[in-house]
Amino acid sequence: MLGALKIRVRTLKPFWFLYNLLHWRSLRRNRKLYDQAGVRKSVFGTIAHRDFDGSNGATPWLDRDGAPEAFASSADAASLPDGVAEKIPGWIEDGFMVLEGQISSELVDEAVADVGRLLDQGVVSMHFRGEQVVRDSYEHSDPVRRMFTDPDIGRTLRFLFGRPAQLFQTIDFFKGSEQPMHSDAFHMTTQPPGYLIGGWIALEDVRPDAGPVYYLPGSHRLPYLMSEDLGVSGSAFSIPLKDEAYGDRVAAAAKQAAVEPVDFLAKKGDVLLWHHNLMHGGRPVKDPDSTRRSVVAHYFAEDVICYHEVTERPAILEGSVPVPA
Ligand SMILES: O=C(O)CCC(=O)C(=O)O
Ligand SMILES: [Fe+2]
């Protein structure tokens, strides 16, 4: 009963307008960006893909036609960390890359111990999101921040975006997430689209029965699915619930494109970077006693509008940190 009421309140636009007003400090950066995008709306109101003029702005350079040639003639490729330039054609084609053993075992151990300490001290707490997770440990944990602001990762992100990256929103998982198939573009949206990259770090070796992350190579090149593709509509006061319609559309798009999922059997310290529109999810946890310690971050590029297409809310970027490149 209380749960249903909570869901109902969370669909009400006036509730979020007040919430956004309380976060005016972090939302005021959007005024300039909305003006540049020709959006004549309050930065405290709802925002969704249909509010933009359809031009979609500047597509990330590696998503444009001719990206392989643009990459081949890029002088900046010399700035990439060792071994990464060879992975760029795979990024263009498949929408992900793995930086094997990028984070040292010592730093991973430090981060795991530090999140444990933060939980014990009540600085962070468990949230239920299908599974128990810790949100935004990077805001409190120096080792977690050090993993995600690794300069090799920063240089790679800067190259992929063509702009500096900001670290935002981390989620620590203790067990497999079993997350339904999705692309982050629907949950954590940017305008122009394509300026968000998922960064996932294995904090232990991942066993096949522990609910590995999976991804669908090449699915990032399918059209972005936005609210107007779902056939759901809200009202002047409420935002529609979209999860079910979205899940159906994603499954249909993957089936039509005949792209098959690939499990990521990561080793401790491996980093997986995925494209904003790459379909991915978490496999079922077959062994209920298994753990799958991992932590994921969402990086966005500087000077883009960040919002949540699913809830039509602007993203509150409080706490986000620049990633040195
Ligand atoms: O760790 C997982 O299983 C998936 C996490 C994910 O999809 C995300 O955070 O965007
Ligand atoms: Fe995701």
Using CA positions, which residue lies closest to atom 8 of ligand 1? 296
Query: Residue 243 belongs to what domain range?
Result: 54-322
Which residues have a Cβ under 8 Å from the Cβ of 6 and sit 6 or more positions away? Answer: none
**Distances from the Cα of 202 to the Cαs of 102, 195, 308, in angstroms?**
10, 23, 26
For residue 183 and ligand 1, the question of a CB distance below 6 A is answered with no
**Distances from the Cα of 109 to the Cαs of 125, 140, 264, 286, 298, in angstroms?**
20, 16, 21, 26, 22
What's 325's DSSP letter?
-
Atom of ligand 1 nearest to the CA of 296: 9
**Distances from the Cα of 273 to the Cαs of 154, 165, 312, in angstroms?**
12, 13, 25
Instruction: Look at residue 162 and tell me if it is in a domain.
Output: yes
Condensed to tens digits (0 to 9), the pLDDT of residues 272-319 reads: 999 999 999 999 999 999 999 999 999 999 999 999 999 999 999 999
CATH assignment at residue 292: 2.60.120.620
Instruction: Look at residue 42 and tell me if it is in a domain.
Output: no
Q: Measure the CA–CA gap between 324 and 315, rounded to whole angstroms.
A: 22
Instruction: Look at residue 36 and tell me if it is in a domain.
Output: no
Q: Measure the CA–CA gap between 306 and 197, rounded to whole angstroms.
A: 12
Instruction: Look at residue 250 and tell me if it is in a domain.
Output: yes
For residue 294 and ligand 1, the question of a CB distance below 6 A is answered with yes
Atom of ligand 1 nearest to the CA of 211: 3
Please give the pLDDT value at position 54. Answer: 67
For residue 184 and ligand 1, the question of a CB distance below 6 A is answered with yes
For residue 296 and ligand 1, the question of a CB distance below 6 A is answered with yes
Instruction: Look at residue 89 and tell me if it is in a domain.
Output: yes
Q: Torsions phi, psi of 67, nearest 5?
A: -60, -40
| Of 142, 215, 223, residue with least CA distance to 179 | 215
Condensed to tens digits (0 to 9), the pLDDT of residues 89-115 reads: 999 999 999 999 999 999 999 999 999
Condensed to tens digits (0 to 9), the pLDDT of residues 231-281 reads: 887 888 888 889 999 999 999 999 999 999 999 999 999 999 999 999 999
Could you tell me the pTM of the whole model? 0.96
Atom of ligand 1 nearest to the CA of 182: 7
Count of domains forming the chain: 1
For residue 46 and ligand 1, the question of a CB distance below 6 A is answered with no
313 DSSP β-pair partners: 308
**Mutation test of ligand 1: which of 270, 280, 292 has the most ligand atoms closer than 8 Å to its C-beta?**
280
Instruction: Look at residue 224 and tell me if it is in a domain.
Output: yes
The dihedral region occupied by 178, where left means phi > 0, alpha psi between -120 and 50, and beta the remainder, is left
Contact between residue 167 and residue 297 where contact means Cβ atoms under 8 Å apart: yes
Q: Measure the CA–CA gap between 216 and 264, rounded to whole angstroms.
A: 11
